[in-house]
Structure 1
Amino acid sequence: PATPSRTASGSVAVPGARARVARAGRIYVEGRHDAELVERVWGDDLRVEGVVVEYLEGVDDLPALVDAFAPGPDARLGVLVDHLVPGSKESRIAAAVSSPHALVVGHPYIDIWQAVKPASVGIDAWPDVPRGQDWKTGTCRALGWPTDTGAAWHRRILPAVRTYKDLEPALLGRVEELIDFVTAPPEAG
C-alpha cells in the first residue's frame, strides 16, 4: 500500500481537500516573516481547519488588539509572541491579556529567524548580536550577507524551510498549541 503523503507540518495530507470557510477565530503573529513561516509549514493544515493567520507588526498594543477582537467561545484568538521569556517586555505585555478565550504563547527567540535551525540555513549557529543593534541587520552583517533583511529572509532563510524538521522544537510546540486552541469546539455550558 502507498504511504500517505505528509504536509510540511508532518500531518497526513488530505488529498483533494478544499480550504474550509474561515473560522471566526484567528491566530495573530508578530510580523510578516512569522506569518510567512507559519504559512510555509502549517498552511495546508490551516486551510483544512479554516484558520486565518494575521500579522500584528509587533505586540506593544496587544491587550488593546485582543479587546478589539473580542474573543469568545466561538471566536478564539491565539497569539504567537517572539522572545516570550520571564522578565521581558513581551512577557509583561502577554500577562496583561486576560480573556479566557485568548491564548498567548511564545518562543524564546529574539526573532522568528532564530526558530529556523542554523543547519537548515547552512550556518553553524545564529550569531550573537550586541544589545542595542537591530538583530536582523546585525545577523546579516555577522554572516557576511547584504544587510537587506527582506532579501536575506526571502532568499536565504525561508527557502531553507521545507518541513517542520527545519524548525526548532520550541516553536513547533507553540504553533501546534495555538492551532489546537483556536480549533477546539466551544465548551458546553
Structure 2
Amino acid sequence: MRQYSPDFTPPWKKQQAAPEVAADVDLVVEEVTTGFCGAVVRCEKTAQGPTVTLEDRFGKHRVFPMGPRGFLIDGRAVTLVRPAAAGPGRPTRTASGSVAVPGARARVARAGRIYVEGRHDAELVERVWGDDLRIEGVVVEYLEGIDDLPAIVAEFAPGPDARLGVLVDHLVPGSKESRIAAQVTGDHALVVGHPYIDVWEAVKPSSVGIQSWPSVPRGQDWKTGVCRALGWPENTGAAWQHILSRVHSYRDLEPELLGRVEELIDFVTLP
C-alpha cells in the first residue's frame, strides 16, 4: 500500500477554486453559512479584512467578511472581491435603482404627462426618478389637489400618443379620492395612489431618524400636527426640506409609493 505524508490532501478531496466576482452594488448573493440572501449595499475595509453589507427584501442589513467561497450565486460558490473604483461622477445605478446611462441626453418631452397632487410629491418624484424621467422624456406637474381633476383630464384630452398618469395621496376604498379617480380612469388615463395621508409618510421613518410617523387627530392640519408631535418647529416648509434631504434613493421610500410611480412611468411611456 502506498504511504502518503500526513499533510497530503488527495486530489479528489481538494476544493475547486471558486471564481472571483466583483461585489457591485445591487448584486444579489447568498451567504453560505447563514443562508442570508440580499443585494450588495456597500463594501468596506476593516481591521479584520474587507466586508460586504447585504440588504434583504425586507430592508434588513447584515455585514459579512469577504472570505474565499463565502457566497453563492445561483447555487454556485464564489469569492466576492471589492469592485474596481468607478470613474468620478459615474454611478452604476440611478436613485431609482435603474441602470445609469452616463452622458445620456434628455429626450424631447413626450405629449404624455404625470400629474401629482402637490409640490412635495413632485419634488420627491424628481429626487428619486429624475434621471429616468429625463431619459424617457416624461414631464411631472403638480395640481394643488385633485378636486378639479375631472375638468383637468377633460382639457388634457388623453389619447394613444398622449397618455396621462396621475398619482394621488390617500387613495383608499370609499374615499373622496377614490370616487374622483373612478371618474377619470380610462384607456389612456391611469390614476393610482398610495394609502398615506400625505407623501411625507411614504418616506421610511428610519430614513428620517424617527421611530414612526405620528398619528394626528382628525380636524387638525396633518403636517402641522406631525411637526408638533415630533417636537419640530411648526414650519412645514422647513420640515419638508429636512425630510427630503434624507432621501437618497428608492431604498428610503415605502414600497407602496415605489410601485405606483413605476407603474405610471411604464403607462405613459407605452409605445
TM-score by length of structure 1 reads: 0.95
Instruction: Verify: 1:122 aligned to 2:213, yes or no.
Output: no
Matches within 5 A, 1:80-159: 80-154=167-241, 156-159=242-245
Which of the pair is proportionally richer in helix?
Answer: 1
Q: Per-residue CA shift, 1:120-140, capped at 9, x if unaligned?
A: 000000000001111000000
TM-score of the pair, normalised by structure 2: 0.67
CA separation in 2, counterparts of 1:58 and 1:98? 17
Match status 1:175 vs 2:261: yes
Q: Which amino acid aligns with 1:73?
A: P
When the two chains are superposed, the root-mean-square deviation of aligned CA atoms in Å is 1.1
Distance in structure 1 (CA, Å) of the matches to 2:185 and 2:120: 27
2:97 is paired with a residue of what secondary structure? coil
Amino-acid identity (%): 84
- The whole-number CA distance in structure 2 between the counterparts of 1:26 and 1:136 is 28
Contact 1:83 / 1:90 at 8 angstroms: preserved in 2? yes
SS in 2 for 1:43: helix
Distance in 2 (alpha carbons) for counterparts of 1:76 and 1:95: 17
Higher strand content, 1 or 2: 2
Q: In structure 1, how many angstroms separate the alpha carbons of the residues matched to 2:108 and 2:134? A: 8
Whose radius of gyration is greater, 1 or 2?
2
- Quick one: which amino acid aligns to residue 182 of structure 1? V
Displaced runs of 4+ in structure 1, greater than 4 A? 1-4
Name stretches of at least 5 consecutive residues in structure 1 with no aligned partner.
Answer: none
Q: Which has the higher contact order (CA 8 A, sep 6+)?
A: 1
Alpha-carbon deviation of 1:99? Answer: 3.1
1:44 to 119, 131, 134: 131
Structure 1 CA distance for aligned equivalents of residues 243 and 141 of structure 2: 20
Q: Which of 109, 118, 121 is 1:34 aligned to?
A: 121
Give the deviation of 1:100 after TM superposition.
1.4
